[in-house]
Structure 1
Amino acid sequence: MSLASVRIALVLLLGAAVLVEPAAAQQARHVLGSEHMRVLHWPEDVELAELARTSGDRALARLERMLDIDLDERIDVYIVRSQQEFDELTGMRNSPWIIGRAMSRLRRVVIKPMGTQRLPTLLAHELAHIMLDLRMGEEAHTLPRWLHEGLAKYASDDFDEADRRIIAQAAVADELLTIDELDAAFLGDSEQMMLAYAQSYTLVRHLGDLRPAEGISPVLDQLERGRDVRLALGLAYQRPVPQMESEWLEQLRSGYIEHIAPPLSETLIGALFVIAFLIALLLSRRRSARIRERMEREERLRAEFGVLPTGPYTLIDSAEPSGAEEADRTIIE
């Protein structure tokens, strides 16, 4: 065999080795598939992967109805082992506290292992981002962030007591965000961001309630035509935007205050308990005072007569005697 042939053979062997290594690595990852999803996971996360497939299919079916879209290609869901793997699959360096991310262009969701109660909500949230971008196509970049995050929370039923409380606190402090202020608040401090997420959910829900049969599709149609947000809202729902905004904010002011203050009925009941306690305490003290007075009188009688007469008898209240009147203290037998 010539030297050239040997070199060619070595090159081919090295190339084959390079190709075999990724293939072997890929084979180590398990895949669960369905009509609209593939869940790629490591062997230790098989139960989590099965839950992801089941809950993800339900979420996608709901999103198809909500957004009036048919999903024609499958979405890949990766359950990763490490932060490095998370960063590689998302194509960016992520903060450690980020546990899920959606890449619409790649039709990919990457999540870290988590509890079974948390996964369905998180996965539905990330799938909503992808489905909304697919619904909007080339105009996806026109969507305001409040619409993206509000729909994602709404589609995943992600609205809890913490959301209600932060809205109530903002309402009491007169710090609720307007529609125009929502997007900027996502870039603020943690409290502003939490308020923006919570209010975005309520705004999407409010818009859906205006036309229940169509949900938010009317405003998506207008945004798809290149309208700005306020014009799109007005055209979609055929109402003045200031009026819609005012009604929405008024609902927030009146609908969540109970989450930081007890209901009036509970306040009244609490007040009645306090009053009843004070009355009982007063009566108890008066009774104790009467018993103490009676015992003092009995002691004085013992001192005068040596022994109390046989009863029953009643001691008559009178002014404190003095001198000759000492012997006239009355005892009724």
Structure 2
Amino acid sequence: MKSLIFLLLILPILSASASWESVESPHFRVYYQEGTVDPTSILQIAEDFYAEMPQLTDRMPAGMIDIWVCDTQKEFQDSVHAPIQDWAVGCAFPLSRRIIIQNPKHIALAKLQLVQVLRHEIAHVLFGQCTRKAVKEIPLWFIEGIAIYFADEWVPSRHETLLKHIFSKSILPLQALTRGFPSSQTGADLAYAESQDALRWLVEVKGRDVLFSLISELHAGNNFNTAFEAVVGWDLATFDVLWRESLAERYKWASLFSNSYFLWGGLGGLALLGYLVRRNRRQRHLNKLSQQENTMDTFFRT
């Protein structure tokens, strides 16, 4: 059902001059300006993802999740009504069940996909609602890692960023990403890449069931640090150290290139190999010419 509403009455932080329409599904309500976006595709993506996450949704109180689609970047910045970087295309307010995203055309210009952005922000809301009793104590790296993991995101630039910092031995400790991320886009890219990898490694070494057991503890309102140590078996400081140590093992080839001896030795070896290949090719060519010279052309045979 569509209904025309005035933003001043519904969400005062947005422009009062813009008129908005809404369309609903069982769990989501999309607000948009007519002619700017197809709301049904947004609802479909949202409901599909919602259905994938019963481990979280079954623990949530009933209620709709609102998705506001802003047509311009300025409108998006004004709508968030909180400090946010210029390069951001989505923002979630988990405790109020509200998501604000830019128009999909702007998301595409940022080399991202609408599906990824929506799933990421919805994951924030689902996780935040599920753990609302303990959400203020949860480190930001874990919150973002959870959203990326559940959204099943793959952003190649993050992988490249992680490798670059493994190469330069400039990985940030997770402790530095507890309450905030760097404000620059490059710094934030590293923070997101680390959050993604740390959460993925946790699941790899401890299992997905351990992750949901931890979420259950948070759902019950238990302290994050205490719950993490009880469920995972490591305190956060130990996990931080072990995760950073695992990077060198899991990305061995990147670690090798971080050593100048191996780097220059490897480059020298490649140069030598190239020289030998070229010399062998030239020698084969000379041998072929020699054989041709020693062979009498049939024209001269009697």
The amino acid that maps onto 2:198 is L
Unaligned stretches of 5+ residues in structure 2: 1-5, 11-15, 258-266, 295-299
Distance in 2 between residues matched to 1:129 and 1:37, nearest whole Å:
14
The amino acid that maps onto 1:38 is R
Q: Alpha-carbon deviation of 1:119?
A: 0.8
The amino acid that maps onto 1:163 is R
208, 224, 228: which one aligns with 1:212: 208
Distance in 1 between residues matched to 2:281 and 2:67, nearest whole Å:
65
The answer (yes or no) to whether the contact 1:29–1:43 under 8 Å persists in 2 is yes
1:248-272 deviation line (CA, Å, top 9, x unaligned) = 334322334557999xxxx999987
Residues 1:56 and 1:175: Cα distance change in structure 2 (over 3 Å): same
Q: Percent identity?
A: 18
Distance in 2 between residues matched to 1:88 and 1:215, nearest whole Å:
36
188, 196, 203: which one aligns with 1:193: 188
Q: Which residue of 2 aligns with 1:41?
A: 32
Distance in 2 between residues matched to 1:96 and 1:125, nearest whole Å:
18
Distance in 1 between residues matched to 2:9 and 2:224, nearest whole Å:
47
How many residues are matched? 269
111, 116, 123: which one aligns with 1:128: 123
TM-score by length of 1: 0.65
Distance in 2 between residues matched to 1:155 and 1:196, nearest whole Å:
17
Q: Alpha-carbon deviation of 1:189?
A: 4.3
Q: Which residue of 1 aligns with 2:217?
A: 221
The amino acid that maps onto 2:207 is R
Q: Alpha-carbon deviation of 1:72?
A: 0.8
The answer (yes or no) to whether the contact 1:38–1:75 under 8 Å persists in 2 is yes
Determine if the alignment matches structure 1 residue 52 to structure 2 residue 42: yes
248, 252, 255: which one aligns with 2:247: 252
Distance in 2 between residues matched to 1:187 and 1:34, nearest whole Å:
37
Secondary structure class of the residue paired with 2:104 = coil
The amino acid that maps onto 1:31 is S
Distance in 2 between residues matched to 1:101 and 1:94, nearest whole Å:
9
Q: Which residue of 2 aligns with 1:299?
A: none
Secondary structure class of the residue paired with 2:134 = helix
Distance in 2 between residues matched to 1:67 and 1:215, nearest whole Å:
16
Residues 1:274 and 1:35: Cα distance change in structure 2 (over 3 Å): farther
Determine if the alignment matches structure 1 residue 157 to structure 2 residue 160: no
Q: Alpha-carbon deviation of 1:199?
A: 1.2
Q: Which residue of 1 aligns with 2:167?
A: 172
- Give the CA RMSD over aligned residues: 4.0
Q: Answer with 237-246 or 37-46: which moved more.
A: 237-246
Distance in 2 between residues matched to 1:199 and 1:66, nearest whole Å:
24
Q: Answer with 181-190 or 145-154: which moved more.
A: 181-190
The amino acid that maps onto 1:281 is R
Task: List aligned pairs for 1:250-329, cutoff 5 A.
Answer: 250-256=245-251, 275-285=276-286
The amino acid that maps onto 1:282 is Q
Distance in 1 between residues matched to 2:61 and 2:82, nearest whole Å:
27
The amino acid that maps onto 2:192 is Y
1:213-240 deviation line (CA, Å, top 9, x unaligned) = 24244166259645353x4322122346
Q: Which residue of 1 aligns with 2:76?
A: 86
Q: Answer with 270-279 or 209-218: which moved more.
A: 270-279
